[in-house]
């Protein structure tokens, strides 16, 4: 089995640096959590010397498996390859998610991708029109000017001595949001039901329409969700192929398959066009700004405040000492 190991990454679990994710030759991966960082190091040094694999231009050394996300980012050749357009936007975002510790094996730190389109109403979608694209220099919560004012005022008039100020009391990526996006397919259906006493969500809260979810993310002050990678490759997530009874919304619409924009006649169309949008020239020129918000220098501190990008303090690593 050791000979099948292709990459070993350090991971956080419950915001603590005590886990490892081991990637195998058959493209599966397993995540392990350990009592402390010392144990993590011992385990890495008893596994094969594979580093984080061969994809990122890094040496296959055990110290690479123990490197920080910043060290992996600076040492890798992926940013240069992306700038030279040798890899796609999708591949680069997966690289950033992976080195940042986001993983398909932990719903609390699932890979995050951006909404890139704003037009979910037209019969046809012109990917050369800038007006059809989201402003990637702003977090979801700051796209609607009225809502941005609400969040800015919340931060500026903060009076709670028990908590540092924030713009958002929810987050762009949570286990709940991931399960809600993927509720129609296993194993996520089972995960969702296990987390909710065996019941599906209220039909009005269930993911039932792409356009409706986009509108909610622009209007509701408690919804600042970004997307997950599956929006760009997994048409099955939009189909209720198992025939689950997901209920009836208050507007008397039966929740079944996800309603797609008129420009997508079937789920495969939606995924294909959404992926084309992600790889478009417009997004390619703007994506670095979204990366700064999610993975870069606008995550914390004065730049995060200026960018309207401060979340509840408990969502940040290092905010609680569990030692």
For the cut 60, the answer to whether the pLDDT of residue 321 exceeds it is no
Mean per-residue pLDDT, 172-193:
98
Q: How does the average pLDDT of the chain come out, rounded? A: 95
Tokens at 117, concatenated: 């389109």
Q: 20 burial class (0-12, 13-18, 19+ CB within 10 angstroms)?
A: buried
For the cut 80, the answer to whether the pLDDT of residue 319 exceeds it is no
Q: What is the pLDDT of residues 194-247, one digit of tens each?
A: 999 999 999 999 999 999 999 999 999 999 999 999 999 999 999 999 999 999
Quick one: three-class SS letters along the chain?
CHHHEEEEEEEEECCEEEEEEEEECCCCEEEEECCCHHHHHHHHHHCCCCCCCCCCCCCCCHHHHCCCHHHHHHHCCHHHHHHCCCCCHHHHHHHHHHHCCCCCCCHHHCCCECCCECCCCCCCCCCCCHHHECCCCCCHHHCCHHHHHHHHHHHHCCCCCCCCCCCECCCCCCHHHHHHHCCCCCCHHHHHHHHCCCCCCCCCCCCCEHHHHHHHHHHCCCCCCCECHHHHCCHHHHCCCCCCCCCECCCCCECCCCECCCCCCCHHHHHHHHHHHHCCHHHHHHHHHHHHHHCCCCCCHHHHHHCCCCECHHHCCCCCCCC
Q: Is the peptide bond before 2 cis (omega within 30 degrees of 0)?
A: no
Q: What is the pLDDT of residues 104-153, one digit of tens each?
A: 999 999 999 999 999 999 999 999 999 999 999 999 999 999 999 999 99
pTM of this structure: 0.95
Residue 11 β-bridge partners: 19
Domain range list for the chain: 2-109, 130-315
CATH architecture, range 2-109: Roll (2.30)
pLDDT band at 280 (very low <50, low <70, confident <90, very high): very high
Sole residue written with tokens 């995540």: 31
Q: How far apart are CA 100 and CA 69, in angstroms?
A: 5
For the cut 90, the answer to whether the pLDDT of residue 314 exceeds it is no
For the cut 70, the answer to whether the pLDDT of residue 91 exceeds it is yes
CATH 1.10.1540.10 fits 130-315, yes or no: yes
């Amino acid at each position: 089995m050791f000979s099948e190991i292709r990459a070993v990454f350090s991971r956080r679990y419950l915001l603590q640096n005590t886990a490892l994710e081991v990637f195998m030759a058959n493209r599966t991966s397993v995540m392990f959590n350990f009592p402390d960082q010392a144990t993590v190091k011992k385990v890495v040094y008893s596994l094969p010397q594979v580093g984080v694999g061969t994809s990122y231009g890094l040496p296959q050394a055990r110290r690479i498996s123990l490197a920080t996300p910043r060290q992996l980012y600076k040492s890798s050749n992926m940013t240069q390859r992306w700038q030279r357009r040798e890899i796609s936007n999708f591949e680069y975002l997966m690289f950033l998610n992976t080195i940042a510790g986001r993983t398909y094996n932990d719903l609390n730190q699932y890979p995050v991708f951006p909404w890139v389109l704003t037009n979910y109403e037209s019969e046809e979608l012109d990917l050369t029109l800038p007006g059809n694209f989201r402003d990637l220099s702003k977090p979801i919560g700051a796209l609607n000017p009225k809502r941005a004012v609400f969040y800015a005022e919340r931060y500026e008039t903060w009076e709670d001595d028990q908590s540092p100020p924030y713009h958002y009391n929810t987050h762009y990526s949570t286990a709940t949001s991931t399960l809600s996006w993927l509720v129609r397919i296993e194993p996520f259906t089972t995960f969702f039901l296990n987390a909710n006493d065996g019941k599906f969500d209220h039909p009005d809260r269930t993911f039932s329409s792409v356009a409706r979810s986009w509108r909610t993310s622009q209007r509701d002050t408690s919804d600042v969700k970004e997307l997950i990678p599956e929006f760009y490759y997994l048409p099955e997530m939009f189909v209720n192929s198992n025939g689950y009874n997901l209920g009836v919304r208050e507007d008397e619409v039966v929740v079944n398959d996800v309603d797609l924009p008129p420009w997508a006649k079937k789920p495969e169309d939606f995924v294909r066009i959404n992926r084309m949008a992600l790889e478009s020239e417009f997004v390619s020129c703007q994506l670095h700004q979204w990366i700064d918000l999610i993975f870069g220098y606008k995550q914390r501190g004065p730049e995060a405040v200026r960018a309207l990008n401060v979340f509840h303090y408990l969502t940040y690593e290092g905010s609680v000492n569990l030692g």
